């Protein structure tokens, strides 16, 4: 009988779970087929999104919907042959996008979002990673006066509804904050609560190093199977078999590969997304991450250059990369900021693990004692990783959880 806990998956979620269990005195082994932080956690836009309290929904207004349906915009691209394969998931997502349902979901997620900054702060400080963190928010740019009015209304709703701090910026105020932005950006909102990270992969790796420095073990092995046995759990990897008292599945979009054989099938779709880095033209600098909501991309100043990150691509997880969405985003981003040459030849592609109800799965597996789950964070895994780690560790160790875990229970999919 072993009391060790195996955490499978060393993305931001798995690493955070491992740290929180370790902090509660548990003996933890973290397993990943790659080095920590090489999956989706490597290539995201680096926003610790305290301001994003309403999840990304399918628009209900027909103009926006037709825009997506045209398959010509940068925010969403789809492979028409793939959509029938995810039709039930899409239908679920559409239902969850109803304004009433969306408000409920936002309320359920809120305690995790509210905890996101504090939980990252604690880990960043302990791991000595303050140099990766900026604490001065990000900017949503707008391209027309009408959109600026609309953005202003939204920002005051967010202030009164959720206490979010933001400044509405006219062209002059925007230019004071970001002198290099071009006139196509007529104004914006400075969302001041969120943090941003200059190298999300390095952040996850730094958290994993903290876990090791505190005595944790990291194994680099691909897990092929997990099965209950009399001592707890057997974890079968490509070249070994391990025993553990409990297992946490935190494999992001790959979580079903180990859960399906045990009878669990969480509807999980990998919302694909690309990034590529660019040098700035001449002396131009970008100080904040910038979201161009009307077009659908983010530009973030990162250690490797200005990271241009696309919206969502719905295509088979293993389909070859298709540059069309990134090219569209790049063309429109050049209207806003003087991007220079790309840093890499090829874009990075990653998968956001997304459930149809926009909420992660966090908690016990229900049918198997000692099996625990933490995945499905979609657009907000960097944001919610440490808060998820805390919530799951509290559940596993019998502490009073800081947030109601019931909305994240896998029971909703069983
Ligand atoms: C383009 C893009 C932009 C994004 N921007 C943001 C953002 O600004 N802010 C934000 O909060 N979120 C953002 N996200 C979402 C965020 O990156 C993800 O939600 C998060 O990284 C998921 O973390 P994870 O630990 O669950 O998964 P991952 O980071 O994918 O980790 C899963 C791990 O499991 C391992 N694994 C899988 N199968 C096996 C196996 N059989 N054996 C061993 N190991 C295995 C993988 O190697 C991987 O390391 C973005 C995502 C994308 C794609």
CATH number at residue 39: 3.50.50.60
**Measured distance CA(284)–CA(54) in Å, rounded:** 33
CB-ligand 1 contact for 205 (6 Å cutoff) = no
Give the pLDDT of residue 178: 98
How far does the centroid of ligand 1 lie from the alpha carbon of residue 254, in Å?
A: 10
Q: Which residue has the tokens 């016990």?
A: 364
Angle (CA) 67-333-279 rounded to 5° is 150
CB-ligand 1 contact for 375 (6 Å cutoff) = yes
CB-ligand 1 contact for 244 (6 Å cutoff) = no
Domain contains 383: yes
Give the pLDDT of residue 328: 95
How far does the centroid of ligand 1 lie from the alpha carbon of residue 256, in Å?
A: 14
How far does the centroid of ligand 1 lie from the alpha carbon of residue 27, in Å?
A: 24
Q: Which domain holds residue 10?
A: 1-57+97-129+196-267+355-414
How far does the centroid of ligand 1 lie from the alpha carbon of residue 220, in Å?
A: 17
Domain contains 396: yes
CB-ligand 1 contact for 33 (6 Å cutoff) = yes
CB-ligand 1 contact for 275 (6 Å cutoff) = yes
How far does the centroid of ligand 1 lie from the alpha carbon of residue 348, in Å?
A: 13
CB-ligand 1 contact for 273 (6 Å cutoff) = yes
**Measured distance CA(207)–CA(120) in Å, rounded:** 10
From atom 51 of ligand 1, which residue's Cα is the shortest distance away?
44
Domain contains 240: yes
CB-ligand 1 contact for 200 (6 Å cutoff) = no
Give the pLDDT of residue 365: 97
Domain contains 125: yes
Ligand 1 atom with the shortest distance to the CA of 38: 49
C-alpha neighbours within 13 Å on the C-beta side of residue 23:
19
CB-ligand 1 contact for 357 (6 Å cutoff) = no
CB-ligand 1 contact for 382 (6 Å cutoff) = yes
Domain contains 405: yes
Q: Which residue(s) pair with 216 in the sheet?
A: none
Domain contains 14: yes
Domain contains 167: no
Give the pLDDT of residue 74: 84
- Helical axes 99-127 vs 381-396, angle rounded to 10°: 80
Ligand 1 atom with the shortest distance to the CA of 41: 21
Domain contains 21: yes
CB-ligand 1 contact for 252 (6 Å cutoff) = yes
Ligand 1 pocket, mutate which of 253, 382, 384 (most atoms under 8 A from CB): 382
CB-ligand 1 contact for 311 (6 Å cutoff) = no
Q: How far is CA 30 from the centre of its chain?
A: 20
**Measured distance CA(380)–CA(291) in Å, rounded:** 15
Ligand 1 pocket, mutate which of 248, 381, 385, 408 (most atoms under 8 A from CB): 381
Q: Count how many domains the chain has.
A: 1
How far does the centroid of ligand 1 lie from the alpha carbon of residue 299, in Å?
A: 19
How far does the centroid of ligand 1 lie from the alpha carbon of residue 32, in Å?
A: 12
Give the pLDDT of residue 302: 97
Q: What is the pLDDT along the chain (414 residues), one digit of tens a residue?
A: 567 999 999 999 999 999 999 999 999 999 999 999 999 999 999 999 999 899 999 988 888 888 888 888 889 999 999 999 999 999 999 999 999 999 999 999 999 999 999 999 999 999 999 999 999 999 999 999 999 999 899 999 999 999 999 999 999 999 999 999 999 999 999 999 999 999 999 999 999 999 999 999 999 999 999 999 987 999 999 989 999 999 999 999 999 999 999 999 899 999 999 999 999 999 999 999 999 999 999 999 999 999 999 999 999 999 999 999 999 999 999 999 999 999 999 999 999 999 999 999 999 999 999 999 999 999 999 999 999 999 999 999 999 999 999 999 999 999
CB-ligand 1 contact for 277 (6 Å cutoff) = no
**Measured distance CA(412)–CA(414) in Å, rounded:** 6
Ligand 1 atom with the shortest distance to the CA of 204: 29
């Amino acid at each position: 009988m072993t009391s060790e806990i195996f955490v499978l998956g060393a993305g931001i979620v798995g690493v955070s779970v491992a740290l929180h269990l370790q902090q509660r005195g548990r003996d933890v082994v973290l397993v990943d087929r790659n080095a920590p932080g090489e999956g989706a956690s490597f290539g995201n836009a680096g926003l610790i999104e305290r301001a994003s309290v309403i999840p990304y929904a399918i628009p209900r207004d027909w103009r926006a919907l037709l825009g997506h349906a045209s398959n010509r915009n940068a925010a969403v691209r789809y492979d028409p042959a793939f959509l029938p394969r995810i039709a039930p998931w899409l239908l679920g997502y559409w239902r969850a996008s109803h304004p009433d349902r969306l408000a409920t979901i936002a309320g359920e997620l809120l305690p995790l979002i509210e905890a996101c900054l504090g939980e990252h702060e604690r880990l960043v400080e302990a791991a000595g990673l303050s140099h990766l963190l900026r604490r001065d928010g990000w900017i949503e740019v707008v391209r027309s006066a009408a959109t600026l009015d609309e953005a202003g209304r939204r920002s005051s709703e967010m202030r009164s509804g959720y206490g979010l701090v933001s400044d509405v910026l006219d062209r002059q105020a925007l230019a004071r904050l970001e002198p290099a932005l071009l006139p196509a950006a007529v104004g914006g909102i400075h969302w001041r609560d969120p943090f941003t990270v200059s190298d999300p992969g390095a952040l996850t790796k730094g958290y994993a190093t903290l876990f090791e420095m505190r005595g944790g073990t990291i194994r680099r092995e691909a897990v092929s199977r997990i099965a209950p046995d009399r001592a707890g759990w057997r974890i079968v990897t490509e070249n070994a078999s391990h025993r553990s008292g409990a297992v946490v599945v935190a494999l992001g979009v790959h979580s079903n590969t180990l859960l399906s054989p045990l009878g669990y099938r969480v509807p999980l779709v990998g919302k694909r997304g690309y990034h590529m880095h660019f040098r700035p033209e001449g002396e131009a600098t970008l100080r904040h991450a910038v979201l161009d909501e009307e077009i659908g991309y983010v530009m973030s100043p990162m250690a490797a250059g200005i990271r241009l990150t696309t919206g969502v691509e719905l295509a088979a997880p293993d389909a070859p990369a298709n540059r069309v969405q990134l090219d569209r985003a790049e063309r429109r981003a050049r209207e806003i900021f003087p991007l220079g040459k790309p840093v890499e030849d090829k874009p990075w592609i990653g998968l956001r693990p997304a459930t149809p109800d926009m909420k992660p799965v966090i908690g016990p597996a229900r049918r198997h004692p000692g099996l625990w789950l933490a995945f499905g964070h979609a657009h907000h895994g960097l944001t919610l990783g440490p808060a998820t780690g805390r919530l799951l560790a509290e559940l596993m160790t019998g502490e009073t959880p800081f947030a109601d875990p019931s909305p994240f229970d896998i029971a909703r999919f069983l």
